[in-house]
């Protein structure tokens, strides 16, 4: 099955952008529109079990990398740059190690190839606790999440997954049950006997603890031609929290 996507721009240079866990392609609309003015075509992809893409009981970085390869073949994209945030960043790294000839360069946003104790189970439990048959608006769902998820912007991000059926009842676009069951797959390290030789920019949010220098040095064993920069006034969602500086830094990297 082929991943769902939104394509923005008509430029000669191609970027494929991969969202994070419980995210979707539309999270990157603003960035794609802006970079399209600089000669880039962006493919905003919904990864399996997310957004409008297919649901599957199989879920791992290996499967997601193969999905992306099928997507590239289907869309006649021979070589492209990759931007991946969090889970999307790990998927991009796995793809580059399996299909290195297809990747021009990569931007990896606030994630490393190491294993993580994500704490995402709490978020998934909170979402699963919502009785969808008893709500009539996102506002009601937001109230139900307040006790477990204090941050309003985080709740807004998560509730983008709520969609309406033709009968006006709500459902989750993401495959909540499988994502909950396979959460351990998200936390796994990216392991490979290969290495990726092309340029990579690792970007961390200055106030995020997902990326540290020791972890980055370890990552250079897989990605020796990489550099790390930190963006101030940003946490894990760097591209959303400091979009101006994020855009400037990534545009310079992609143009060079």
- Active-site entry in 5, 25, 86, 96: 86
| Bridge partners for 7 per DSSP | 43
Instruction: Provide the pLDDT for residue 109.
Output: 99
- Chain CA centroid to CA 43, Å: 13
Question: 10 Å Cβ neighbour count for 106?
Answer: 25
Cα atoms in the Cβ-side hemisphere of radius 13 Å centred on 109: 28
Instruction: Provide the pLDDT for residue 168.
Output: 84
pLDDT tens, position by position, 18-76: 999 999 999 999 999 999 999 999 999 999 999 999 999 999 999 999 999 999 999 99
> Does position 118 have pLDDT exceeding 80, yes or no?
no
Return the domain boundaries, the chain.
Answer: 5-115+188-255, 120-181
pLDDT class of 225 with cuts at 50, 70, 90: very high
- Residues contacting 97, CB < 8 A, separation 6+: 190, 192, 194, 195, 196, 222
Question: Exposed (0-12), middle (13-18) or buried (19+): which is 197, by Cβ within 10 Å?
Answer: exposed
- Active-site entry in 52, 55, 177, 207: 177
Is 177 among the residues known to form the active site?
Answer: yes
pLDDT tens, position by position, 159-173: 999 999 888 889 999
Q: Does domain 5-115+188-255 have CATH number 3.30.1490.20?
A: no
């Amino acid at each position: 099955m082929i991943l769902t996507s939104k394509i923005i721009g008509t430029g000669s240079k191609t970027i494929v952008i991969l969202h994070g866990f419980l995210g979707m392609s539309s999270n990157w609309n603003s960035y794609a529109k802006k970079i399209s003015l600089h000669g880039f075509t962006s493919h905003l992809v919904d990864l399996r079990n997310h957004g409008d893409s297919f649901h599957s009981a199989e879920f791992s970085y290996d499967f997601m990398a193969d999905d992306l390869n099928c997507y590239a073949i289907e869309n006649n994209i021979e070589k492209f740059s990759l931007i991946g945030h969090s889970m999307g960043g790990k998927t991009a790294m796995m793809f580059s190690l399996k299909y290195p000839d297809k990747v021009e360069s990569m931007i990896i946003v606030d994630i490393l190839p190491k294993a993580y104790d994500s704490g995402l189970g709490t978020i998934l439990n909170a979402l699963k606790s919502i009785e969808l048959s008893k709500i009539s608006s996102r506002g009601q769902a937001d109230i139900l999440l307040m006790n477990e998820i204090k941050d309003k912007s985080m709740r807004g991000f998560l509730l983008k997954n709520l969609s309406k059926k033709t009968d006006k009842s709500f459902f989750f676009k993401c495959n909540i049950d499988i994502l909950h069951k396979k959460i351990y797959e998200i936390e796994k390290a990216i392991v490979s006997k290969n290495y990726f030789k092309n340029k990579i920019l690792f970007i961390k949010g200055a106030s995020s603890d997902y990326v540290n220098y020791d972890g980055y040095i370890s990552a250079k064993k897989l990605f020796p031609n990489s550099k790390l920069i930190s963006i101030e006034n940003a946490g894990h969602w760097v591209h959303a929290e400091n979009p101006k500086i994020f855009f400037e830094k990534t545009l310079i990297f992609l143009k060079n």
